Amino acid sequence: MSKIINPILRGFNPDPSILRVEDDYYIVTSTFEWFPGYQIHHSRDLINWQLINRPLDRVSQLDMKGVPDSCGVWAPCITHHDGIFYLLYTNVKSFDGEWKDTPNYLVTATDINGPWSDPVFLNASGFDSSLFHDDDGKSYYVNMLMDHRDRKFFGGVVLQEFDKKTKKLVGKIHYIFEGTEHGRTEGPHIYKRNGYYYLMTAEGGTSYEHCMTLARSKSILGPYEVHPENPIITAKYDSDNYLQKTGHGDIVETQTGEWYAVFLTGRPLTKLGRCITGRESAIEKVEWRDDDWLYLACGGKTARKEVEAPSLPEHTFTKTPQRIKFDSEKIDINFQALRIPMSQDWVNQTDRPGNLRLYGRDSLSSCFNQSMVARRVQAHHTTAHTVIEFSPENFQQMAGLVCYYNTIHYHYLHITGDDFGAYSGKKFINILTCDDHKTTCPIGKPIELPNVDRIYLKADFNGADLQFYFATEHTNGEPNWQALGPVLNGSILSDDYVEHAERHFHPCFTGAFYGLACQDLSGQNLHADFGYFDYQEFDQD
């Protein structure tokens, strides 16, 4: 029997919402401050998945300039009804302190690949909005309720009817579920089966206490009774399990009547430790039993690394090439930018064909106009390398390869210049580490480079260990790599580290990225050219 290997979506792909349309399966996952918003993966067998698009691809849909780290686009919900795809999203604007700004929007399309409509504003009372289309023609909208009073935060789940013709919420707002003793109730989805309305929620927070809760009622308005063996999926009772943090998720029925649940998960480097690949998405087979409750088909509550695949023909996709050559006008789909679209004025592959050109702008600490494109770290041992041509005239101009978590946690291997005046034109290589606002230089001071145009940069990210390399020469086409600086702590690029490093509570929900970046703090927009980007994985964990 074929097996599904978890996680199915590796490296910062949390909060999965799954949908089947005939023989096609789609999962949408959160992207937070990364643009374009949301990732849609496609499968026909639940084993093999391919990233096909990011639907929120213009500012009219998603304006995130200036949003804080880990704000922006939170948990999605995708549904399909009468030939129309409905996609709900929150664009979180602020999250520090007692007040949370969480406007919720809807976009629609008749094709999963778009174009997706301009957004319709729905409400702002909380996040994790979801649509349910009942069999009587009515549709309903649910979301968790933000409660700022006495630092309560999670206020339960509310429901309101949704008018598909006007695309507006109508009628009374109903409070339908307070949550259970696990607390932090969020991520609601409603399903209907055998006369019951089922309410699935995520509880316990999104770390090691995370879990998936199920409740049901004969009326969509409740009251809802909780599953007798709640929670139905969690790793909170098994700290040695391969998949940890299991919770926020969704369910789907196959063409052959089998049922599967998809859910958020994490793979720590050590027991209850740090997850450099961020929050990911996994899958498990579930079954409805005679009591009309849903259970893991394997029994218990803990999800497995290997899961029985459904009785469907296997459908594979072309593997993503390890090396991106920048030999087309279109930027590779694996790259995203921070908060803003990838527009020609700051990143393109046309000004110098065969290269990706970045025009330097803001610092890596900016929430506005960064010139960086980056891809997810998706395994516990990876490497990334590139070649750069860059001619800085002063210390305010930098470009290179960054291992990035957020604006205040990164390791940056870069080329820069010296002081203005007599030393102008000299080229140096340096490493900057930013850890909770504190920036240090692990090699002491920049190292002067010989007078060469092309400089190779490499990062080897193995578990918690991160080693940078550089080369100015190559043999038989391979760079002669030289280690630069000490082994760095790569595990600071994780939710688990950052949430404890922050002096005040702030959401930490993303993951580690490899990025190509360019800064020009003088405002002259000096450009850097990157000749390729190579990403490789060396493990299956």
Q: How far apart are CA 69 and CA 125, in angstroms?
A: 21
Using an 8 Å Cβ cutoff, are 260 and 237 in contact? no
pLDDT digits (tens, 9 = 90+) for 156-179: 999 999 999 999 999 999 999 999
Angle at 92 between CA 261 and CA 171, to 5 degrees: 75
pLDDT at 95: 83
Q: How far apart are CA 354 and CA 470, in angstroms?
A: 21
Using an 8 Å Cβ cutoff, are 262 and 252 in contact? yes
- The answer to whether residue 424 scores a pLDDT higher than 70 is no
Mean pLDDT within 310-319: 95
- The answer to whether residue 423 scores a pLDDT higher than 80 is no
Please give the full DSSP string across 158-204, using - where no structure is assigned.
EEEEEETTTTEEEEEEEEEE---TT---EEEEEEEETTEEEEEEEES
Band (pLDDT 50/70/90 cuts) for residue 426 is confident
- The answer to whether residue 504 scores a pLDDT higher than 80 is no
pLDDT at 195: 97
Q: Which of 437, 485, 435 is nearest to 460 (CA)?
A: 485
Q: What torsion, rounded to 10 degrees, do the Cα atoms 260, 266, 268, 269 define?
A: 90
pLDDT at 99: 81
Using an 8 Å Cβ cutoff, are 174 and 221 in contact? yes
pLDDT at 219: 98
Global pTM? 0.96
Q: How far apart are CA 216 and CA 160, in angstroms?
A: 17
Q: Which of 459, 455, 464 is nearest to 530 (CA)?
A: 455
Using an 8 Å Cβ cutoff, are 211 and 234 in contact? yes
pLDDT digits (tens, 9 = 90+) for 458-477: 999 999 999 999 999 988 88
pLDDT digits (tens, 9 = 90+) for 45-77: 999 999 999 999 999 999 999 999 999 999 999
Lowest mean pLDDT among 86-100, 245-259, 399-413: 86-100
Q: How far apart are CA 121 and CA 106, in angstroms?
A: 7
Band (pLDDT 50/70/90 cuts) for residue 421 is low
Mean pLDDT within 375-394: 97
Q: How far apart are CA 296 and CA 308, in angstroms?
A: 12
- The answer to whether residue 425 scores a pLDDT higher than 90 is no
pLDDT at 100: 85
pLDDT at 505: 55
Looking at 15, 33, 250, 280, which residue is catalytic? 15
- The answer to whether residue 266 scores a pLDDT higher than 90 is yes
Looking at 128, 186, 280, 435, which residue is catalytic? 186
- The answer to whether residue 503 scores a pLDDT higher than 70 is no
pLDDT at 6: 98
161 as an active site residue: the answer is no
pLDDT digits (tens, 9 = 90+) for 202-259: 999 999 999 999 999 999 999 999 999 999 999 999 999 999 999 999 999 999 999 9
Q: How far apart are CA 540 and CA 200, in angstroms?
A: 31
pLDDT at 541: 64
287 as an active site residue: the answer is no
Q: Average pLDDT, whole number, for the chain?
A: 95
pLDDT at 151: 81
pLDDT digits (tens, 9 = 90+) for 3-33: 999 999 999 999 999 999 999 999 999 999 9
Using an 8 Å Cβ cutoff, are 390 and 417 in contact? no
Band (pLDDT 50/70/90 cuts) for residue 97 is confident
Amino acid, single-letter form, for residue 372 = M
pLDDT at 273: 97
Report the percentage of the chain scoring pLDDT > 70: 97
All structural domains of the chain, each given as residue ranges with its CATH number in brackets, are 3-308 (2.115.10.20), 323-537 (2.60.120.200)
Q: Answer positive or negative: Cα dihedral of 377, 278, 7, 244.
A: positive
pLDDT at 540: 62
pLDDT at 265: 98
Lowest mean pLDDT among 146-160, 298-312, 404-418, 523-537: 146-160
* Residue 120, beta-bridge partner list: 106
Q: What torsion, rounded to 10 degrees, do the Cα atoms 521, 525, 531, 535 define?
A: 40
* Residue 411, beta-bridge partner list: 403, 433
